[in-house]
Each structure stands twice: as C-alpha cells, then as structure tokens.
Amino acid sequence: MRYSILSVLGHALAGNRRWTPAWRDAAPQPHYDVVIVGGGGHGLATAYYLAKVHGVRRVAVVEKGYIGGGNVGRNTTIIRSNYLLPGNIPFYEWSLKLWEGLEQDINYNAMVSQRGVLNLYHSDAQRDAFVRRGNAMRLHGVDAELLDVAAIRRLAPFLDFDNARFPIRGGLLQRRGGTVRHDAVAWGYARAADRLGVDIVQNCEVTGIRCDHGRVAGVETTRGFIGAGRVGLACAGNSSRVAAMAGLRLPIESHVLQAFVSEALKPVIPCVITFGAGHFYVSQSDKGGLVFGGDIDGYNSYAQRGNLPTVEDVCEGGMALMPFIGRVRLLRSWGGIMDMSMDGSPIIDRTPVDGLYLNAGWCYGGFKATPASGWCFAHLLARDEPHPVATAYRLDRFAAGRLVDEKGQGPHPNRH
C-alpha cells in the first residue's frame, strides 16, 4: 500500500484497524542472488538500491536481531557533507543529495530536516582550517558559509561567546545539513525494499561463511544455510567478527560511542551545533529532547554501553559551550559499537574471497552516509566495480599507502 494523505484519511475513517505490517516477516529461501549480512540502515539501503536501480530481485537481508535495533537506532541523527578530502566530499555530497529526495523515493516520512550544521571555531588557526574546508566544499559544489560572531549571536544567542579559554570567533555553516528521524530510515528502507521483493529475515544470525573452491557459496545462519551468488557484509560494529568467518583480518577496531538525550524542552537549538574546542555536538529533536554526544570511550569494546568518565567529558563540553544545559536533566544515555578504521574512513570494496564484498569501517559517521553507502555498495555488488564516488574506499589502501585520513591522526583508531 502506498502511503499518502488519502490513505491516512481512509484508515482514520476505518478506525485505523486495517493497517498492515510495513514489511513481511520473511522466512529464508534456500538460495538468493545476493545475501546482505546486517539489517541496519546500510544493509537495507543496499538491498533497496540493488532491487530498484540494478533490478536484482532475489535479494535477502539477514539480521541477527530486529530491524532498527543496531546503530541505525543508536546514533545522533545528523546528516552533513562538510568534509575536506577529495576522496570524501563527492561521496558524502551524493549521500546528502539522496537524503534530499529520500522521502519521495521510498514513500516514507523520515522527517528529513535541513536545519543546518554549524561548526564553531575558537582560534585564528581553527578559522584558517575551517576556511580551507569551506573552500574545498565549495570547489566541489557543496554549500558552505563562514559566519562571524554577530551572525552566530543571531542564530544561537545562548552560546558562551566570551568563554575565557575558548571564546567563539565564528563558525562554518552548512545550511543543507541537518537531522533525520533515524528509526524511520530503517523502517522506510525496509518497507521500500520489501515492496520490491527483498526478503528481510530477522532473528537470523550468521554463524559462518561457506566457501567452495575459494568462492563464496552462502552463509550458515541460526535459521539454516542460505545459498548466495554474492554475499555483502554490512554489519559495522561487528565487521571483524563476521569477516573472520571467511578468514579475513580487517584494519578495524570496535569501539563504543555513547549518545545522550535530555528531557524535552521548548524549541531552543535551531540547528546542529558542534563545539570546536572539545568534542561535543548537539541538536534538538522534534519531541524537544536535546540529542548530543562527543568522543568515543577510546578502548576496544563490543559491550554497547560505555563508562562514566566519557559521560562527564561530554557533559563538560556541553557546559563549556552552552552553560544553560547544566539546568537540563539527562533522560537517557546509551552506547553503540563502531567500526573504527585505521584512517577514519570507510571501506566499500571486494575482499580476497571471490563473491564476498565488504561495507565496513564507518567509524562514528555512518548514519549520514546511509543512502550513499547503500547506493555504492549495491553498485559494487551488482556490477563488481566500485561506484565513481566511492573509489577511495578500497580495502588495499592501507598497505598501498593511499589513506583517506580526514583528521590526520595516523593509524590509531581511537583518535579518529
């Protein structure tokens, strides 16, 4: 059923008793052309674009838990394309363009809100770096504006502009950035893929990858063996564990990132705001809660929960940026497991195992990339060649020295 104002009105008149599930609870078939491991945003987007753009109809997404239970439901919902490096800007800009047309494309209200992303700077050196980044973006056709203090005072008068250590000197604004309702992205892609015949198999954990003469034959799961012509891994957070089933070691460490939401307030924060002197980013959800986060905890973890020193550090960043936040009560905090790659950039590539493809290493920037990640991974799975905007994300770039190190931190996953 197509969602529209008429369908909403019709169901309302019928007492809302005739709504059907948004996607089928599919049982696994014996064989598929493509099996995607991981029913998160990236896996579901991949399946959708495989079916829609490339006409591959025998596709399954296998998910160990339920749709929306992983990182797609644990992030801080920010979308943006304000990157510096030539390997990154076209990819993230393509993602932002897909976000802009997503809701019409998948016929689902994902609450895409282009309220703007403002990165604050606090020193002359930081201003120079932001000017460089803004110019790099504009050279790639991406919107970027440098704001002075007066303009930021009009936008967000509650900031601590004259902080003794970190006075606010200005900011780089991307107006087309913003936020998206993260759960709706998972549900919308799942429904849209399902409508094109994709089987979404939940509670189906992959326990092994079966290979036959060096070529992938399918996946062993808790619901039996599923044969596949090609297998795509899109299970960031657990990429190393799943890839190890095929004998691969990855340039990835798994780390925990915490996120936070406060009690609901009246509208106060007009856009996404990031603190340039620490690591703190905040936006306000449409329900009113302040959604914020900061650094990863910094040690290997699969625990999906973090420790209190990071909570304190994040809240200190918030207090330094906007002291009023100290009067707000924290409602919830939670953790998600990130694929922290060795250069801070993702991997969308073939693997040494024939027929096995990898989508991994999203660090803590995977949500904004969801549409383009799916688009490019589908392209790779269908055509066996990288999409033009994802050619930098090769698995062999580490050994070959072609790193995409946006922050210039070197091979230390907990610093990206």
Partner 1 sequence: MRIPCPHCGSRGHEEFAYYGDASLVRPDPATADAEQAFAEFVYLRDNPAGPHRELWYHAQGCQSWLVVERDTLTHEIRGAADVRSRAST
User: Which residues form the interface with partner 1 (CB under 8 A)?
Assistant: 238, 240-241, 244, 249-254, 298-303, 307, 309, 342, 398-399, 411-414
Distance CA 54, CA 282 (A): 38
Nearest CB to partner 1, comparing residues 153 and 279: 279
Amino acid letter for position 226: I
Residue with tokens 């992030």: 75
Cβ at position 176, least distance to partner 1 in Å: 34
Cβ at position 26, least distance to partner 1 in Å: 28
**DSSP at 344:** S
Nearest CB to partner 1, comparing residues 237 and 374: 237
Cβ at position 186, least distance to partner 1 in Å: 23
Closest CA to 325 of 276, 278, 268, 286: 268
Nearest CB to partner 1, comparing residues 300 and 391: 300
Closest CA to 44 of 374, 367, 372, 348: 374
Distance CA 207, CA 225 (A): 10
At how many degrees (to 10) do helices 370-383 and 89-106 cross?
100
Nearest CB to partner 1, comparing residues 110 and 250: 250
Cβ at position 302, least distance to partner 1 in Å: 4
Cβ at position 276, least distance to partner 1 in Å: 23
Nearest CB to partner 1, comparing residues 293 and 335: 335
| Cβ atoms 240, 205 nearer than 8 A | no
Nearest CB to partner 1, comparing residues 221 and 240: 240
Nearest CB to partner 1, comparing residues 243 and 325: 243
Q: Which residue(s) pair with 293 in the sheet?
A: 259, 281
Nearest CB to partner 1, comparing residues 307 and 409: 307
Residue with tokens 């497991």: 337
Closest CA to 205 of 218, 219, 190: 219
Pairing of the two strands 117-121 and 272-275? parallel
Distance CA 343, CA 355 (A): 26
Cβ at position 353, least distance to partner 1 in Å: 16
Cβ count near 268 (within 10 Å): 14
Amino acid letter for position 372: A
Cβ at position 249, least distance to partner 1 in Å: 4
Apex 298 CA angle, 297 and 301, nearest 5: 80
Cβ at position 370, least distance to partner 1 in Å: 23
Closest CA to 228 of 47, 25, 22: 47
Nearest CB to partner 1, comparing residues 57 and 412: 412
Closest CA to 403 of 368, 374, 361, 352: 361
**DSSP at 279:** T
Question: What secondary structure, in 3-state letters, does 354-368 show?
Answer: ECEEEEECCCCCCCC
**DSSP at 390:** G
Cβ at position 216, least distance to partner 1 in Å: 21
Cβ at position 137, least distance to partner 1 in Å: 29
Cβ at position 309, least distance to partner 1 in Å: 4
Nearest CB to partner 1, comparing residues 216 and 403: 403
Nearest CB to partner 1, comparing residues 302 and 324: 302
* Residue 37, C-beta contacts closer than 8 angstroms, at least 6 positions apart: 43, 62, 206, 219, 231, 232, 233, 234, 235, 242
* Residue 66, C-beta contacts closer than 8 angstroms, at least 6 positions apart: 202, 203
